[in-house]
Structure 1
Amino acid sequence: MLFNSFIFLFGFLPAALLIHWLVERFKPEWRLPVLLGLSLLFYGYWDWRFAPLLVLSVLVNWLVAESFTKTGRDVLIPLAITANLVVLAFFKYFNFFADFATIVPGVPTIHFDIALPLGISFFTFHHIMYLTDLKAGKAPRYDLVRYGLYIGFFPQVLAGPLVRWSEIMHQFDERPYERPDAAERFARGLMLLVAGLAKKVFLGDQLADYTNPIYAMAQQGHALDMGQALQGALGFTFQVYFDFSGYTDMALGMALMFGIVLPQNFDVPYRATSLQDFWRRWHMTLSRFLRDYLYIALGGSRKGLVVQLAALTATMTLGGLWHGAGWTFVVWGALHGVGLSVAVLWRKAGYSMPSFLGWLLTFTFFVLTLTIFRSGSFEVAGNFYAGLFGFGAEGFTLKWRALAIGAAVAMIGPTAWTFIHKLPPKPWIAALFALLFVVVLFKIGDDANYEFVYFQF
């Protein structure tokens, strides 16, 4: 069930909200088990074969946490984290590493046709966050239902945001519909759902129509003129933002309707004036995870400049690999690690930069590196760069209207979360959002219904 599908919007979501309300009203002690059951039903709808994997993952990690709590054996947590990473590596990276191993003479090529379970990258990181904090004495023990809901809560299980246990566990014990602001929170959650859906359908999907044909041309080996290359590069830059931030808005809105506040994931990233500022605004929960559970573990800034730069580069390279099993993702992450390292050296040298120039360099760097991310191969990326720098086909063919609209919305802001929470509770505003929802539904019915970009990672 895609969040932007009729079966979800008119089937699963209304039924889940009704069941949740009835249980919360008449049998509040059943609320969490019912939410967990609904989440497993949602996950299993994609492919029932992977539901047992999610259940087994939750059960095994919970049992490890129970054993650690009772025995205090430190070795249990590293073993569990390693096992989680091995499972992730098997499903997501087996063929990638098998291809890499063939550079050794005599090693045969082994490939498996392995389907990638949706959300495995995200729920693996949730396990790691909890287990790491449990070992550090920061996280308490939780029962199986609460832990399972932390891992599998359906608005965020497929593509985040990455939620720390400390941000969500205490909310499971609340009575969300008994709050004095319950109706307002539900309404703002519904508005956020509509806003995210509109971003996806009217901006992300329209920009996909600008972007996909250009990348298809490049993949077929056709030379691109400068306008086409610019259209593809800028088109995907704005497409991936509206697609992923739209998904996040929908996830946050749905969670709010069920009485759960999830962390925000985007803060107008295309207004960033430095690369460090950008990663504080883009996919914020992943950036935070990489900083707290990888960069700091590798030494961070505590062990001297050389270690700091190496940790930055390694962290971002692994972050790139997390996005996908391909060298283009690795190079994309490594380039951002190098870029962040250069920024550290720049700051330590005492240099400054005008805000506009910092914004221009940051945005240009992201667009150019994102081309590698999207291309899938270095040949396609090279085709794009040839066009962008004037070495491709002659001419200048550019569709600019959707790009201009996307740029204005993405850069002027504010975020959907901020905008909706500042709106006064007026009937005419509710009517406008209802009308917007109807228009979006007509658009979904008329056009191709694109899958969310980050479901691929």
Structure 2
Amino acid sequence: MLFNSHVFIFGFLPIVFIVYFIFRKIDLVAGAKIWLVFSSLFFYSWWNPVYLPILLGSIITNFLFGKTIEKVSYKKIILTIGIIFNVALLGYFKYVDFFIANVNMIFETNFSLLHVALPLAISFFTFQQIAYLVDTYKGEAKKYSFLNYALFVTFFPQLIAGPIVHHKEMMPQFETLSARFVRAKNVVLGSFIFFIGLFKKTVIADTFAIYASDGFGRPETLTLIEGWIVSLSYSFQIYFDFSAYSDMAIGLALLFNIKLPINFNSPYKALNIQDFWRRWHMTLGRFLTKYIYIPLGGNRISESRTLFNIMIVFGISGFWHGAGWTFVVWGLLHGVASVIHRLWRKLAIDMPKWLAWFITFQFVNVAWVFFRAESFQDALHVLKAMVGLQGISIPPYLESLFQQIQVIPYEVTERFFVGDLYEFHKIIVLLIVFLFISVFAKNSIERLQSFRPNWKTALFIGFVTVVSILHLTRVSEFIYFNF
């Protein structure tokens, strides 16, 4: 079920909300928790009920692993088995065809692909439960009941695409569920940020998706200006798409008086790649740092080992996002950039902020090409277009200008990029406007923190809500549903 759908907004959410607080009002805390678990499982299985046994099996198995680790003396063995179980589960459903295809290519074999369907959210709930097992082994996890644990994993606002929540920040909230009644403040704040997120998804991200999909669908035909339009369109599509989901998840949880961690904080304001990753998918970065980077030695051993650890972490990050070499390359590119940034800092050379921002943003934009492209060939076509190696096409009214620049070969075309000149003008304006917004404007979390209930806010959220709902006719998945 999608957050940006009529059935969710006008059906699922109101029913779940009302019944939950009926249970809370009559002081049936266990009933309220069971209702949330049941509702979350229904939400999850709406897409495809076949995935439900996988999720349930993972929850039950990991809970039993955790309980066993608490009781036995051979904790490390059980932890190892538990981690292997989770990695194997993720590896089979997400990566088995990728490995088979590569074996066939390298060894010239002809093993048949299994065409295993990817269960929704498996990357997210696997990482959450690995963290739980590791912390249980370290004695950092409390003894949770199965009901609270199941709710921790399945809570529908964060189930499909994060944030990757940690048991320490969520389980105490599920243990107590102290708010017995509907809190008007949380309802207002939750609705405020939810509908901002819905607007980002339905109006902004899905608009940029039209141009990005068109360009990446025919990368070999792109020329210089078109290549930049396509790459920037995808950069803003994924920015507002992921920001939208993060906002909507926080808003939905607030309705139930639950606080989720912030997962997105204006990453295009970053002045270096380290700053970018402190702002983008923040809970993934937190997981990779605590459960992979630090156990590998972090920065405690030697400088060369630190740089190696950085590359390992970013390689895993890329592979976590998708079963394809383009994702691995995307991750390694960010690893190389992080290594360069670390070495640059040692030189203690100050860079103007505008230049630092420009380099960071352009690197991120170029790296997104590999993230989005279906193949290396497609990615190279887009990158070649961006540097003019696939020619330059211009609309007719720019011909007189280009005639004065005779050293640049170009072709005049009536149909420029998508549709006509109107579409060209439209996308250029959209790119400029939303570049400005993403770099200079307050983000939704900042607006949430400074929220003031007044007529201006009411008009703003009313406008955002109406426009968003009117755009629900073109329902689309969130990008991170694929991961």
Fold similarity call, TM over 0.5 = yes
- Is the alpha carbon distance of 1:212 and 1:104 closer, same or farther for their aligned partners in structure 2, counting shifts above 3 Å? closer
For residues 55-78 of structure 1, give each alpha carbon's deviation from its aligned partner in whole angstroms, at most 9, with x where no partner exists. Answer: 111001101111111113221011
The residue type paired with residue 296 of structure 1 is I
Higher alpha-carbon deviation: 343-352 or 370-379: 343-352
State whether structure 2 residue 427 is matched by structure 1 residue 429: no
Q: What 5-or-longer segments of structure 1 have no aligned partner?
A: none
1:249 equivalent in structure 2 = 247
1:269-280 superposed matches below 5 A:
269-280=267-278
Aligned-pair distance for 1:138? 1.0
Aligned-pair distance for 1:175? 4.0
2:478 equivalent in structure 1 = 452
State whether structure 2 residue 151 is matched by structure 1 residue 144: no
State whether residues 50 and 117 of structure 1, in contact with CA within 8 Å, keep that contact through their aligned partners in structure 2: yes
Q: How much identity, in percent, do the aligned residues show?
A: 36
- Is the alpha carbon distance of 1:25 and 1:388 closer, same or farther for their aligned partners in structure 2, counting shifts above 3 Å? same
1:93-104 superposed matches below 5 A:
93-104=95-106
- Is the alpha carbon distance of 1:175 and 1:294 closer, same or farther for their aligned partners in structure 2, counting shifts above 3 Å? closer
CA distance in 1 between partners of 2:343 and 2:460 (Å): 50
CA distance in 2 between partners of 1:113 and 1:99 (Å): 11
The residue type paired with residue 367 of structure 2 is T
Q: What's the secondary structure of 1:102's corresponding residue?
A: helix
For residues 138-188 of structure 1, give each alpha carbon's deviation from its aligned partner in whole angstroms, at most 9, with x where no partner exists. Answer: 111211111111111111110000111111111113345447x92101210
1:195 equivalent in structure 2 = 196
Q: What's the secondary structure of 1:302's corresponding residue?
A: coil
CA distance in 1 between partners of 2:455 and 2:30 (Å): 35
2:156 equivalent in structure 1 = 154
State whether structure 2 residue 438 is matched by structure 1 residue 404: no
Aligned-pair distance for 1:427? 5.4
The residue type paired with residue 217 of structure 1 is R
CA distance in 2 between partners of 1:456 and 1:72 (Å): 39
TM-score by length of 1: 0.95
Aligned-pair distance for 1:288? 1.1
1:261 equivalent in structure 2 = 259
1:54 equivalent in structure 2 = 55
1:61-100 superposed matches below 5 A:
61-74=62-75, 75-100=77-102
State whether structure 2 residue 186 is matched by structure 1 residue 185: yes
For residues 105-162 of structure 1, give each alpha carbon's deviation from its aligned partner in whole angstroms, at most 9, with x where no partner exists. Answer: 3644231111100000000000111111111111112111111111111111100001
2:447 equivalent in structure 1 = 419
Q: What 5-or-longer segments of structure 2 have no aligned partner?
A: 395-415, 417-423
CA distance in 2 between partners of 1:125 and 1:62 (Å): 14
1:7 equivalent in structure 2 = 7
1:232-247 superposed matches below 5 A:
232-247=230-245
Equivalences, count:
451
The residue type paired with residue 140 of structure 1 is K
Q: What's the secondary structure of 1:197's corresponding residue?
A: helix
CA distance in 2 between partners of 1:205 and 1:120 (Å): 25
Q: What's the secondary structure of 2:107's corresponding residue?
A: coil
1:105 to 95, 104, 107: 107
State whether residues 2 and 8 of structure 2, in contact with CA within 8 Å, keep that contact through their aligned partners in structure 1: yes
1:442 equivalent in structure 2 = 470
TM-score by length of 2: 0.90
The residue type paired with residue 44 of structure 1 is S
CA distance in 1 between partners of 2:349 and 2:41 (Å): 52
Higher alpha-carbon deviation: 400-409 or 169-178: 169-178
- Is the alpha carbon distance of 1:443 and 1:110 closer, same or farther for their aligned partners in structure 2, counting shifts above 3 Å? same
Report the structure number with the largest CA radius of gyration. 2
State whether residues 268 and 411 of structure 1, in contact with CA within 8 Å, keep that contact through their aligned partners in structure 2: yes
CA distance in 2 between partners of 1:97 and 1:406 (Å): 39
- Is the alpha carbon distance of 1:81 and 1:279 closer, same or farther for their aligned partners in structure 2, counting shifts above 3 Å? same
Stretches of 4+ aligned residues off by more than 6 angstroms: none
State whether residues 188 and 421 of structure 1, in contact with CA within 8 Å, keep that contact through their aligned partners in structure 2: no
For residues 408-454 of structure 1, give each alpha carbon's deviation from its aligned partner in whole angstroms, at most 9, with x where no partner exists. Answer: 22112322122023121235633542343122111223xx2221111
- Is the alpha carbon distance of 1:428 and 1:361 closer, same or farther for their aligned partners in structure 2, counting shifts above 3 Å? closer
1:283 equivalent in structure 2 = 281
State whether residues 265 and 445 of structure 2, in contact with CA within 8 Å, keep that contact through their aligned partners in structure 1: no
State whether structure 2 residue 121 is matched by structure 1 residue 119: yes
CA distance in 2 between partners of 1:290 and 1:20 (Å): 34
CA distance in 2 between partners of 1:361 and 1:105 (Å): 41
The residue type paired with residue 254 of structure 2 is L
Aligned-pair distance for 1:104? 4.8
1:313 equivalent in structure 2 = 311
Aligned-pair distance for 1:360? 0.9
Q: What's the secondary structure of 2:206's corresponding residue?
A: helix
State whether residues 152 and 174 of structure 2, in contact with CA within 8 Å, keep that contact through their aligned partners in structure 1: no
Q: What's the secondary structure of 2:86's corresponding residue?
A: helix
CA distance in 2 between partners of 1:442 and 1:32 (Å): 34
CA distance in 2 between partners of 1:289 and 1:117 (Å): 21
The residue type paired with residue 113 of structure 2 is H
